[in-house]
Amino acid sequence: MGYFEMAKTAIKTVMSRPATLMYPARPGKMTTLSRGHVVIDVSRCISCGMCMKKCPAEALCVDKEAKTWTIDRLRCVVCNSCIEVCPVHCLTMEGHYSSAVLAHSGLETFTITYVKPERPKKNESGEPAEA
Amino acid sequence: MSKKIVVPFGPQHPVLPEPIHLDLVLEDETVIDVVPSIGYIHRGLETLVAKREFTEYVYVAERTCGICSFIHGMTYCQGVEQIMDLEIPARAHYLRTIWSEYSRLHSHLLWLGLFADAMGFENLFMNSWRLREFVLDVLEETTGGRVIQGSCKVGGVRRDISDEKLAAMAGDLKSFETELSDLSEVFLHDDSLKSRLVGVGTLSRTDAYDLGAAGPVARGSGVAIDLRKTGYAAYRELRFEPATESAGDCYARCAVRIRELFSSIDLIRQAVETMPEGEIEVKVKGMPDGEYFSRSEQPRGELVHYLKGNGTKHLVRSRIRTPTLTNVPSLVKMLQGCELADVPVIVLSIDPCIGCMER
């Protein structure tokens, strides 16, 4: 019966449900650790540039003067390096993939809205002023 | 004597997952000589070592290959750790071993599927890949990446696996093993497969040794070389025997890989049982100064990462030698004297990974 070794598995797979998901009608599998795309919280970014320095794909650009954070979605290899080094944890990893982009339009620029709180100055009465 | 003709095979060919070009010199239907040529997808990853910090290069090293990516990252990290005299925690060694073995499962199942596809056995191909999906799901749940895990770092690993998850992983392997047994029955005992594999592309033990064959190609010819026996990561504390076959044909190489699948399952179980508690990484201080040949066993054979540092944050040289490169001379030997129709199966039987080979 050497020619029918596959029969058992073949019958089993015919009788069972399909192994594939009918995506996108049914959502794809995703875990809590899945790496989809990098998301920035612009209200917390302090423009330190650590993510830019540690990016192995050179996909990030932080402009301190213009207060922008730019990511090239086509260069980004979703390695999680920027998220690990961010000192204020303003970068997070979303499980879903970012939507498809055309060549030359993979750049996404975000304007950083973080405002450095002023140091509380001591006024003449000795009480700290509101920041 | 009949006329010789040259038939080009590849770099684009239905059975080839990756580009390699072979000029087949034919006499009638028999291949009498082969001239291989490579160089279609060189990416210059080794040069990047001088432009990325040594701690970031692990991401690049991992992307050398799209299948055994974790083992590339691990071999690179081992090399840097040896240069810097870093002693990494035992738990990190065990976690690395578990992920390596899952990578081996996924690589071998991928190969079995492609191999079945090369022979025109579509159903077997799809079933191999269906099983592979189970392995990829475990990798994604534990590391966050299906193929590029990114969980290895210089000084240890980035992620721990909880004890409950480890126990669940060991439990799930039971049903996986049953399905794998059904699959391996087909590969090893189906007559139509045997007629395509037995006695095809034979490589003698002496040739395998002299031509520097690596991994399942060497072990299929009876050369019991398995780098895991050198005891890197946690392998020195786990029991296993290298799977060897003596026939040296395509069937023997297939049988070696199937036996390795079961030995990988056993290794994962042993590692889960004896997993030590403790830290998963150590702090990296200083810069690497020195050189090291880091070796490990990929699913395809021996992988070598040569690393050299000069005390700065950039290494000065990285040289990666992958098992496919050392298996090409053996492939040429196997193809000499075979029939033209058997060429795709024989080429696939060395499990060529050209992306890895050209880096």
Kindly report, residue by residue over A56-100, the tens digit of the pLDDT: 888 888 888 888 888 888 888 888 889 988 998 888 888 888 778
The number of distinct structural domains making up chain B is 1
Classify residue B22: in a domain, yes or no.
Answer: no
Contact A3 B190 (CB under 8 A): yes
Read off the CATH number of the domain in which B300 is found: 1.10.645.10
* pLDDT tens digit sequence for B52-75: 888 888 998 888 888 888 999 999
The contacts of residue B347 (CB under 8 Å, 6+ apart) are B9, B15, B16, B20, B22, B331, B335
Q: Given B59, B127, B182, which is nearest A79 (Cβ)?
A: B59
**Residues 165 to 204 of B: which have CB under 8 A from any A CB?**
182-183, 185-186, 189-192, 194
Tell me if chain B has a CB within 8 Å of the CB of A10: yes
Classify residue B290: in a domain, yes or no.
Answer: yes
Tokens of A30: 């995703």
* pLDDT tens digit sequence for B208-265: 889 988 889 999 898 888 888 888 888 888 888 888 888 888 899 999 999 999 999 9
CATH 3.40.50.300 correct for A32-111? no
**Among B39, B64, B138, residue whose Cα is nearest residue B321:** B64
pLDDT mean over A15-32? 84
Classify residue B295: in a domain, yes or no.
Answer: yes
Q: What is the pLDDT of residue A26?
A: 85
Q: What is the pLDDT of residue A131?
A: 44
Classify residue B286: in a domain, yes or no.
Answer: yes
**Among B246, B254, B251, B118, residue whose Cα is nearest residue B195:** B251
Distance (Å, rounded) from C-alpha A17 to C-alpha A21? 10
Tell me if chain A has a CB within 8 Å of the CB of B142: yes
Contacts of B183 in chain A (CB under 8 A): 9
The contacts of residue B224 (CB under 8 Å, 6+ apart) are B242, B244
Tokens of A12: 């089993």
ipTM: 0.78
Counted across chains A and B, CB pairs separated by less than 8 A come out at 65
Among chain A residues, CA nearest to B48: A56
Tell me if chain B has a CB within 8 Å of the CB of A17: no
Among chain A residues, CA nearest to B150: A79
Tell me if chain B has a CB within 8 Å of the CB of A5: yes
| Residue whose pair of structure tokens reads 């580009």 in the numeric block | B19
Contact B127 A9 (CB under 8 A): yes
* More confident call, A104 vs B271: B271
Q: Domain boundaries in chain A?
A: 32-111
Contacts of A80 in chain B (CB under 8 A): 144, 150, 158
For residue A128, what pLDDT band results from cuts at 50, 70 and 90?
low
* pLDDT tens digit sequence for B83-137: 988 888 989 999 999 999 999 999 999 999 988 888 888 888 888 998 999 999 9
Q: What dihedral angle (degrees, nearest 10) is formed by the CA atoms of B11, B12, B15, B19?
A: 40
Q: What is the pLDDT of residue B264?
A: 92
